């Protein structure tokens, strides 16, 4: 039993400690940006919104219809994502369109899909 535990610890230590982790530890602003992005993505509805926006610009009503929530609720979550710098909006006549602002967020969404959805 002890040999299995040591083998598991060895595998875990290799997987958890990538070679370039020390480069990230030295950059406080990168860690702060990562923490803000992960915290903003910590709500299931915001993940859904980001997944939708990863396909391109959308209006609030389109997002509301796709996720099945209220427009007020979606607007609150969009405000959080915008405040974190993850998305931006633009007006087109009477419509407000939202899109992902930072390409790194697209990568995070892609990895999230790959890891959790098998896509």
Q: What is the tens place of the pLDDT at every residue in 67-119?
A: 999 999 999 999 999 999 999 999 999 999 999 998 999 999 999 889 988 85
Q: In DSSP terms, which residues pair with 99 in a beta bridge?
A: 88
Residue 112 within a domain = yes
What's the pLDDT at 20? 64
96 within a domain of the structure (yes/no): yes
Residue-wise pLDDT for 17-60, tens only, equals: 555 666 656 677 888 888 888 999 999 999 999 999 999 999 99
Residue with tokens 């595998």: 11
> Residue 7's pLDDT is what?
44
Structurally, the chain folds into a number of domains equal to 1
CATH of the domain at 90: 1.10.10.10
* Cα–Cα distance for residue pair 84/82, rounded to 1 Å: 5
51 found inside a domain:
yes
Q: How many Cβ atoms sit within 10 Å of the Cβ of residue 82?
A: 15
Range of the domain at 92: 44-119
């Amino acid at each position: 039993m002890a040999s299995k535990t040591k083998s598991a610890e060895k595998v875990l230590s290799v997987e958890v400690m990538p070679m370039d982790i020390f480069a990230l530890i030295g950059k406080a602003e990168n860690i702060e940006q990562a923490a803000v992005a992960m915290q903003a993505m910590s709500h299931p509805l915001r993940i859904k919104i980001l997944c939708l926006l990863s396909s391109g610009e959308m209006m609030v009503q389109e997002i509301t219809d796709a996720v099945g929530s209220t427009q007020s609720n979606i607007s609150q979550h969009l405000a959080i994502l915008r405040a974190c710098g993850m998305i931006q909006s633009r007006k087109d006549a009477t419509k407000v369109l939202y899109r992902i602002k930072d390409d790194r967020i697209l990568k995070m969404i892609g990895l999230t899909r790959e890891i959790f959805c098998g896509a």
